[in-house]
Amino acid sequence: MAKTYDYLFKLLLIGDSGVGKTSILFRFSEDAFNISFISTIGIDFKIRTIDLDGKKVKLQIWDTAGQERFRTITTAYYRGSMGIMLVYDVTNEKSFENIKNWIRNIEENASADVEKMILGNKCDLDAKRQVSKERGEQLAIEYQIKFVETSAKDSLNVEYAFYTLARDIKAKMEKKQEASNPPGARSGAHQLRANEQQRKPTSWLSRCSVL
């Protein structure tokens, strides 16, 4: 069957337990009584299709399990990922301080040119806030990473964050293509196939055993 998309990006959500990674990935639900079969097993990843400047982009977004600590997330985990959302909780100082540890972990284990973005989640909980927006912005400037405060609860900036990260990856990819191929002799589909070959060895069976 012919390829029905232009780009495929693998994204990862990372951050301390309880910051809201799973809530960001799914539509927020506080209905604890709605015990669906799915929520008891938990979601590994999802595929979303978005339109970016006329291109059809498939996002494969991986959640990370709560017990996971930056010490235990290693190369195998990051393999193939092109974008990482670093999430902290604005009502939890510790989760903010740990962003630096997460970044160090990414630098040690992920591919050097992975796109990153910092999300300060739960910004709807202003009364409980421990980390000001300014401190988030400051950290982002320090690392030269994009930053936005989000609320999974109010669906605030969540879409924006994924589109922004995806757009940055796409821009980086197109730049690389231009650098390595003379104009005219290239196509998005071409590049995509090359990437898929690369990703093959990381069958997500092997990834699952890591989880």
Partner 1 sequence: MDKPAEMSQKDYVEDGQNKLIIKCKFCGSKILDKKSAKYIMQEKELPFMQQDTRKGGEVQIETINQFYHVENMYTFENIGFTHTVANHKYLSCADCYAGPLGYYEIDTKHSYVALTRVEHC
- Tell me which residues touch Mg ion (CB under 5 A): 21-22
Binding of ligand GTP at residue 105 (CB under 6 A)? no
DSSP H or E segment with residue 121: strand 115-121
Residue 201 Cα to chain centre, angstroms: 21
| 52, 55, 124, 135: residue in contact with ligand GTP (rule CB under 6 A) | 124
Distance, in Å, from the CA atom of 77 to the CA atom of 73, rounded to the nearest integer, reads: 6
Interaction mask 12-51, partner 1, x per CB under 8 A: --------------xx-x-----xxxxxxxxxxxxxxx--
Contact flag: residue 67 with partner 1 (CB under 8 A): no
d(CA 61, CA 13): 7
**Comparing C-alpha atoms, which of 50, 44, 46, 89 is closest to residue 68?**
44
The answer to whether 121 touches 90, Cβ cutoff 8 Å, is yes
Contacts to partner 1 from residues 119-148, by CB under 8 A: none
Using the minimum distance from each CB to Mg ion, give the nearer residue, 68 or 115.
68
- Footprint of ligand GTP on 164-193 (CB under 6 A): none
- For residue 32, the partner it binds in Mg ion, ligand GTP, partner 1, none, with Cβ less than 5 to 8 A by kind, is none
Residue ranges in 138-167 that form contacts with ligand GTP under rule CB under 6 A: 151-153
Element (H, E) at 60: strand 55-62
71 within 8 A of 64, measured Cβ to Cβ: no
Binding site for ligand GTP (CB under 6 A): 17-23, 66, 121-122, 124-125, 151-153
